[in-house]
Chain A
Amino acid sequence: MTSAINTEGLTKDYGQHRGIFDLNLEVREGEAFGFIGPNGAGKTTTLRLLMDLIRPDHGRASILGMDTQRDGVKIRRLTGYLPGESPEYPNHTGERIIDLLAHLRGGVDPRRVTDLAKRFDLDLHRKYRTYSHGNKQKVWLIQAFMHDPQLLFLDEPTTGLDPLMQQTFRELIKEARERGATIFLSSHVLPEVQEICDRIGVVHDGSLRQVGTMDELRISHVHRVDATVATALDAARLTKIPGVASVLVSDHHLQCTVTGTMEPLLEVLLPAGVVTLDSTEMSLEEIFLAQYGQPAQP
């Protein structure tokens, strides 16, 4: 399988450790790739570099085998882009905006646009300034999907969408994947990424920290453990156990996370007399929070 996106040492430094640094990433054709991280981690900068809206300080990127800087126009013909920040067209109707962008693409099938408008329940004949936040987002989603692109760059795609419309969005993603499109989705709505994406890249402070499938990211089997024991526990001793983190001891009660095998923890708990033991596998969001200590913000 060939690469849809390939970056080598891609760096954009805005100073004060803002930007993206030494990004080496490969996204395969037909894959749905989630790019997650907290605000300011470098997600949007990466997307803008890939769309050639900004130029890197170092490194290079290719999309569908073409250089992002040299073949930008060819690439954009094959891609759809949902901007993280909505442009303002206060005096245009939704139809007029789509019409303009469709013409710049050399025309699109009007039935496709009508179908997308129906599915998103968007009246195309109202002025953009009268649209709600969610309806504005629908305009940009329609323009991203209207030409059935081979590769979709989506920056926070479900911002402002109600649950029904989020479902419609997921259906569109599914259809795009069925026809072989590649999805590059930047988000901090982790359940959404978890549901849609095959592989996930975690970016933090401008660096790509982890890349893998959901299973690979969970390969270390991070569990949250809630336990009650008969005798008092030594918190200091618990924190020294390999794989145990976020230890919270209150009287005879323990809360912690365990990465990998439970055996070392159980060796300490069993002599203390386990009364109750509850262990749940952590979601992607919880892993993210545990590792990077920053809550995901809408």
Chain B
Amino acid sequence: MDSPRSRSLAPWAFRSHLVGMLAFGLGFGASAAILAPSYVAAAKALAGGLQALAAAALPVAQSFEFLTGPVDRLDTVGGYLSYKTYPDIALLMAIYAAIQGTQVIRGSETKGVFDLWFAAGRTRTAIFRDRVSAFVGALTVIVALTYVLTVAGGALAGVSLAGPALGQCAAVALVGLVGFGFGLLVSQFFTAARTAAGVTCAYLVASFFIANLSNDLGALTFLRYLSPFYYYIQARTLAGTPFDVAAMAVLVVGALAAGCAALWLYLHRDSEGVSVTGSRHTRPVDYTFRPSVVSRRDLWLNWIAEQPLGVASWAIGIGAFTAVEAAVVPSAIRLVDNTGGQLKQVLARHLAELTPNQYLSFFMTFAALLAAGFMVAQVARWASDASQHRVEVMLTQPVSMWRLLVERAVTVLVLAAVIGLAVVVGTWIGTLIGGYSVSFAGLLRTFLDIVLLNFAIGGVGLVATAVFRSAAATGVTGGFLVVCFFLTTVAGLLSLPSWTSRPSVFDAFGSPYLSMPLTGSLIYLVALGGIGVLVAYIAMRRGMRIAV
């Protein structure tokens, strides 16, 4: 008897990307839609309009090229967006796509659903095709939303970006496809999707900096050809760069090659196996239980011990980033001195003297952003603990809910101290490289402020985890930070009253390297963390009444 043909998984798989595609598409688009009119509004405050603002902003923007890539045409809205937000969009798109690349096949094997699809009659090739096509659909939606909102932002700013945004959004899509292909390929070599995601993302972040610094790499300049972002830079049509068809073709070929290689490896390995295995050796069964030498009765010690590589990666990454930031301070000062023009005059009106410490203080805000990112990663772990029943098994031991939350808060403080220390050490090394002196009092204040900032974000994360007990907690915490970031930047750009940005944790963070944040800001950060623990406790208690 003929059985009905198995149906494609693609519609289901596409729907599974729904939250991600909407969050990223609307997030990317919103950043462009808000920044475009804000930039024009800021330019109107200057006598020379966009030309004057561009001339003033160019030196500082150029000093950050290692973060943004080349800066062009700041006298246009498209050029500003291409420098201000599109580098982040391209990087985040690639990272999101890479993580999805590791999830669609490897992740489904780890979760055991691959076996079910296979048993239901889908071939490996069909499963691969279904899942890849679903993600390509999701990617298209993300880029389409980004494009539409960028054009809308341009319209609000009084310029038409319909044509220029098209090429740059296409380049973003292709970078995303390459990230996805790399994620697929790398995940064939690891049994855990998370490990593959870590390796792929590390490569993408490194290649992002390589592309941005490609003119300063000397003998290593050839490395830029291995970076998808190098090709993306060739198609920044918003900044007036012509759409480089050859560069885009390289991205297409790269994505296809990675995807085809991943498919071949996937078809030639065991389900849940890896493509390259080491020598197999049998080990006798070992029943012996040996308690750990270091007693771990404290949950916070266990939670930290569970993530040595993760914490080390974040600390080293943030430390290296701040070292680079601190090291480029003298170059930034020289640039402003030589070409600053109006910006120098504006800065001089507000500051008695442009010193390395003032630059360093400004750069520290980026370190604060990274430290916030680290805390969001912690919230993701808590959400995973809740959804995978690890919290429940803890609570069936002689552990109270209150203790669980207090130890979470201790974990936040200890890990925040590690990250704060990484910032301090990185900055100190950077100042040694840059050849100028560092304020140790400023470093101490920065350290304490980073701990408080993370404590505050941790409080928000604890509440989100207690309420949602799922990955939504990560999204809510991340969303809170995005809102805070926009409140701080938009209020500054639009000269809004100071109270509009006061709820932002980044506003409360202040400029600790130069001076201690305001008492009110410190109280706000401590209160967010402390009240967060209390509210999380109440939410968990309430959750006991509604949990199924």
Give chain B nearest CB distance to A113 CB in angstroms: 4
Q: Are A55 and B545 in contact (CB under 8 A)?
A: yes
Q: A101 near B393 (CB under 8 angstroms)?
A: yes
Question: Is B299's CB under 8 angstroms from A73's CB?
Answer: no
User: Considering the chains assembled together, what is the distance between the CA atoms of A53 and B192 in angstroms?
Assistant: 31
Per-position contact with A for B296-308: 1 when CB-CB < 8 Å, else 0?
1101001000100
In the assembled complex, A168 has its CB within 8 A of some CB on chain B: no
- In the complex, A209 has a CB within 8 A of chain B: no
Within the complex, what minimum Cβ distance (angstroms) separates B321 from chain A?
27
Which chain B positions have C-beta within 8 A of A125?
A: 283, 286
Does residue A85 face the partner (Cβ distance < 8 Å to B)?
Answer: yes
A21-29, A88-96, A240-248, A286-294: which lies at the B interface? A88-96
Give A62-118 interface residues, CB cut-off 8 Å to B: 72-74, 76-77, 81, 83, 85-92, 95, 98-107, 110, 113-114, 117-118
Which B residues from 259 to 307 make CB contacts under 8 A with A?
Answer: 283, 285-292, 295-297, 299, 302, 306
0/1 string, A121-141, CB within 8 A of B gives 1 = 111110001000000000000
Say yes or no: is A57 at the interface (Cβ < 8 Å to chain B). Answer: yes
How many residues on the B side are at the interface (Cβ–Cβ under 8 A)?
A: 35
- Do A124 and B296 have beta carbons less than 8 Å apart? no
A54 interface residue (CB < 8 Å to B): yes
The verdict on B337 contacting chain A, using a C-beta distance below 8 Å, is no
Partner of A107, one of B290, B291, B395, B397: B291
In the docked arrangement, what's the CA distance between A187 and B395, Å? 22
Instruction: Indicate if the CB atoms of A83 and B397 lie closer than 8 Å.
Output: no
Question: Which of A98, A110, A123 touches B285 (beta carbons < 8 Å)?
Answer: A123
Bound together, the chains give a CA A54 to CA B544 distance in angstroms of 4
Q: Are B389 and A83 in contact (CB under 8 A)?
A: yes
Interface presence of A51 (CB below 8 A): yes
What is the bound-complex CA distance between A121 and B287, given in angstroms? 8
Q: How far is the CA of A89 from the CA of B393 in the complex (A)?
A: 11
In the complex, how many angstroms separate the beta carbon of B123 from the nearest chain A beta carbon? Answer: 26
List residues of chain B with CB within 8 A of the CB of A14.
548
Tell whether B218 is near chain A: CB-to-CB under 8 Å: no
Nearest Cβ distance between residue B463 and chain A, in whole angstroms? 19
Write out the residue numbers on chain B whose beta carbons fall within 8 Å of the beta carbon of A52: 395, 544
A109 to B244 alpha-carbon distance, docked (Å): 69
Report B389-406 residues with CB < 8 Å from chain A CB.
389-390, 392-400
Least distance between B199 CB and chain A CB atoms (Å): 16
**Identity of the chain B residue whose Cβ is nearest the Cβ of A47 in the assembled complex:** B396
**Shortest Cβ distance from B390 into A: residue:** A87
Candidates A53, A89, A103, A117; contact of B296 at CB < 8 Å: A103
- A88 and B389: CB pair below 8 A? yes
Report whether B398 and A86 are in contact in the complex, using a CB–CB cutoff of 8 Å: no
Q: Are B389 and A53 in contact (CB under 8 A)?
A: no
Q: How far is the CB of B544 from chain A (nearest CB, A)?
A: 4
Asked if B388 is at the interface of the complex by the 8 Å CB criterion, the answer is yes
| B547 within 8 A of partner (CB) | yes
A87–B393 touching, CB < 8 Å: yes
Tell me, rounded to whole Å, the shortest Cβ–Cβ distance linking B124 to chain A: 21
Q: Is B110 an interface residue (CB 8 A)?
A: yes
B285 touches A95 (CB 8 A): no
Is the CB–CB distance between B545 and A114 below 8 Å?
Answer: no
A87 to B396, CA, bound (A): 12
- Asked if residues A100 and B289 are in contact (CB atoms below 8 Å), the reply is no
Contact present for A87 and B392 (CB under 8 Å) = yes
User: How close is A124's CB to chain B, nearest CB, in angstroms?
Assistant: 6
In the complex with contacts A76-B398, A129-B110, A83-B393 CB distance below 8 A: yes
Whether the Cβ atoms of B110 and A55 lie closer than 8 Å is no
Cα distance, A95 to B541, chains bound together (Å)? 31
- Determine the main DSSP class of B at the interface with A: loop
B398 and A118: CB pair below 8 A? no
Residues of A within 8 A of B296 (CB): 99-100, 103
With A55-B544, A88-B389, A90-B192: A103-B297 Cβ-Cβ less than 8 Å: yes
The verdict on A99 contacting B292 (CB below 8 Å), with A72-B400, A104-B397, A125-B286 known, is yes
Tell which of A89, A105, A118 touches B397, judged by Cβ atoms closer than 8 Å.
A105
Residues of chain B contacted by A113 (CB below 8 angstroms): 289
Q: Return A164 CB to nearest CB of chain B, in Å.
A: 15
Contact assessment for A104 and B398 in the assembled complex, using a CB-CB cutoff below 8 Å: yes
A33-66 CB mask vs B (1 if < 8 Å, else 0) is: 0000000000000000001111101000000000
Q: Point out the residues of chain A lying under 8 angstroms from B192, CB to CB.
A: 90-91, 129
Cβ A76 vs Cβ B544 within 8 A: no
Q: How far is the CA of A123 from the CA of B400 in the complex (A)?
A: 31
Contact present for B547 and A54 (CB under 8 Å): yes
| Most chain A beta-carbon contacts within 10 A, residue among B291, B306, B390 | B291
Residues of B close to A98: CB separation below 8 A: 289
Q: Which B residues are in CB contact (< 8 Å) with A117?
A: 287-289
Bound state CA distance, A57 and B545, in angstroms? 7
Closest to B307 in A: A91
Q: What mask results when residues 534 to 548 of chain B are scored 1 for a CB within 8 Å of chain A, else 0? A: 000000010011011
State whether A101 touches B291 (Cβ < 8 A). Answer: no
The answer on a CB contact under 8 Å between B287 and A110 is no
A88 & B397 in contact (Cβ 8 Å cutoff):
no
B residues less than 8 Å from A105 (CB atoms) = 397-398
Using CB atoms, name the residue of chain B closest to A91.
B192
Instruction: Check B286–A102 contact: CB distance below 8 A.
Output: no
| Distance in angstroms between the alpha carbons of A68 and B182 in the assembled complex | 52
State in angstroms the CA–CA spacing of A81 and B396 once bound together. Answer: 7
| Chain A residues within 8 Å of B287, by CB | 114, 117-118, 122-124
Report A-chain residues with C-beta under 8 Å of the C-beta of B544.
52-55
User: B403: nearest residue on chain A (CB-CB)?
Assistant: A73
Q: What residue in chain B is nearest A94 (Cβ atoms)?
A: B289
Complex Cα distance, B388 from A99, in Å, reads: 19
| Pairwise interchain contact A53-B399, C-beta atoms closer than 8 A | no
A107 CA / B390 CA spacing, docked (Å)? 19
- Inter-chain CA distance A77–B396, complex, in Å, is 9
Complex contact B545–A101 (CB within 8 A): no
Q: Are A99 and B291 in contact (CB under 8 A)?
A: yes
Q: How far is the CA of A102 from the CA of B394 in the complex (A)?
A: 11
A54-B547, A83-B393 known; A73 vs B400 contact (CB < 8 Å):
yes
Chosen A-B contacts, 23 in total, with CB atoms closer than 8 Å, are: A14-B548, A53-B395, A55-B541, A72-B400, A73-B398, A74-B398, A81-B396, A87-B388, A87-B390, A90-B110, A91-B306, A99-B291, A102-B291, A103-B291, A104-B297, A104-B394, A104-B397, A107-B291, A110-B291, A113-B289, A114-B287, A124-B286, A129-B191
**Given A106-B398, A125-B283, A125-B286, 7 additional A-B pairs, CB 8 A:** A51-B395, A83-B396, A88-B390, A95-B290, A117-B287, A129-B110, A129-B191
**The 4 A-B residue pairs with the shortest CB-CB distance in the complex, in nearest-first order:** A113-B289, A87-B389, A88-B388, A117-B287
Chain A residues within 8 Å of B, Cβ to Cβ: 14, 51-55, 57, 72-74, 76-77, 81, 83, 85-92, 95, 98-107, 110, 113-114, 117-118, 121-125, 129
Chain B residues near A (Cβ < 8 Å):
110, 191-192, 283, 285-292, 295-297, 299, 302, 306, 388-390, 392-400, 541, 544-545, 547-548
